[in-house]
Amino acid sequence: MTTFVMMTRLSTEALKSPQSLETLERSAMEHIHRECPEVKWVRNYALLGAWDYLDVFEAPDIETAAKVSTLIRTYGHAHTELWGAIEWARFKEIVRTLPTRAT
């Protein structure tokens, strides 16, 4: 499974009240669980900045991750950015295999 980070910004037209956030989330997640049952949610954060949410999830491939992003855009009425991620320890292992730079 590959790890993905998704940044989400809700559309201002999507929400009628603060309480409607949970209804919107429930609707989007129902579609994701139905269409992408193999996706595993790792972490979810509410943010205080330009983005509303940061989600970390695992998916078998980029196509599945793109489905998740598209479902959030469609049913969550949001803008998303999707990034692939590698755990820091694994990244260091990869870097150790690279050739040294010639001087």
The pLDDT tens digits of the residues spanning 38-96 come to 999 999 999 999 999 999 999 999 999 999 999 999 988 899 999 999 999 999 999 99
Question: How high is the pLDDT of residue 100?
Answer: 86
pTM of the model: 0.87
Per-residue pLDDT, averaged over 5-9, amounts to 96
Among 83, 24, 22, smallest CA distance to 54 is for 83
Q: Which two tokens stand for residue 15?
A: 């929400």
pLDDT of residue 63: 97
pLDDT tops 80 at residue 102: no
Q: Which domain holds residue 69?
A: 2-96
Asked if residue 22 is part of any domain, the answer here is yes
The residue that leads in pLDDT, 81 or 15, is: 81
Half-sphere exposure of 50 (CA within 13 A, CB side): 4
Q: What pLDDT score was predicted for residue 97?
A: 94
Residue 102 located in a structural domain:
no
Q: What is the CATH number of the domain that holds 27?
A: 3.30.70.1060
The answer to whether residue 40 sits within a structural domain is: yes
Q: Is 103 within the bounds of a domain?
A: no
Is the residue at 18 inside a domain?
yes
How many domains are contained in the chain?
A: 1
Query: Residue 65 domain-assigned?
Result: yes
